[in-house]
Amino acid sequence: MKISTKLMAAVAALSMAAPAFTPVASTVVAHAAVITATDAKANAEQAAKDQAQVDANNKEAAKIAGEKWTGSMTSSNTSSSTSSSTKKSTTSSSSSSKTSSSSKTTTSKPSTTKKTTTSTTKKATTTAKKSNFRLSYKGVAVTKRAASLYSINGANLAKTSKTLKKNTAWKITALVSLNGVDYYQVGTNQYLSSKDASFRRTGTAHVNYNKHYGIQIWTATHGFVKNANGSAKKLPGQTNWKVFGKAVINGSTYYNLGGDQYIDAAYVTVK
């Protein structure tokens, strides 16, 4: 019992002499708080440095690209995109304007060409109608219907009271062309219109020429007769053709092949 009392007194004395004790948990929390604040400051400083580097990089990139630095990467990209869009829009507008202009030019040219072509055609037709001539001609004309006879004095044509019966044949001594219409002389100042009659075949012409070549076909006014493609129309050598009379053109004899087509008698034999 006495021992217990002594022990208790010793314990009490030790308790009074021991230094103040700070709980371990409290110390750890305080230290963690200090570390956290330090890290946050360091992180903020590092973030600021990183942003400064990013801005510097963007500024240098903008300088190289020749664009004005706006101080923000997002803003720079937006500006660049807007600029690009504007350029594209301008280019598109310019292209559209050019296309429109080209379209107008294209529309204008064909119109001018048509007018010119029409005008040229009309002039050519008018010229053909005014090309009047007279040829000495030997042949036979057969009437298609009851046909009136005409008198011709210079370029003046007059209808007479005389007519020829249908399907009758008449010798021709001359061919006169007035305003694009041929008239066949069948008597003294008596002419039959080519609209009312046709030539009768008078023989067959053999082309006395090398078979690998040909002879030119001419018009009554000694012009070239041409094919549809514009090339000269010719009769191959060693071939035979029907003829419908003969005429004197520029002092030489030519055989008529039908219509306004003639061949030089010097290169053929007619039977």
**Looking at residues 33-52, what average pLDDT do you find?**
68
Of residues 221 and 8, the one with the higher pLDDT is 221
85: Cβ contacts below 8 Å, ≥ 6 apart: none
Share the mean pLDDT of the chain: 74
Count CB-CB contacts under 10 A for residue 159: 10
| pLDDT in the model for residue 131 | 81
| pLDDT in the model for residue 51 | 75
Percent with pLDDT over 70 in the chain: 56
Q: Which residue(s) pair with 246 in the sheet?
A: 138, 255
Q: Is the pLDDT of residue 268 over 70?
A: yes
**Looking at residues 118-130, what average pLDDT do you find?**
38
Q: Are 146 and 97 in contact (CB under 8 A)?
A: no
| pLDDT in the model for residue 7 | 55
CA dist 173 to 134, 135, 204, 229, Å? 11, 9, 20, 35
Q: Is the pLDDT of residue 102 over 70?
A: no
Continuous segment of H or E residues that includes residue 253:
strand 252-256
Q: Model's pTM, two decimal places?
A: 0.53
Q: Which of 112, 138, 157 is nearest to 203 (CA)?
A: 138
Count CB-CB contacts under 10 A for residue 163: 13
Of residues 157 and 15, the one with the higher pLDDT is 157
Q: Is the pLDDT of residue 192 over 60?
A: yes
| pLDDT in the model for residue 114 | 46
Pairing mode of beta strands 147-153, 252-256: unpaired
Query: Within its chain, how far is the Cα of 218 from the centroid?
Result: 38
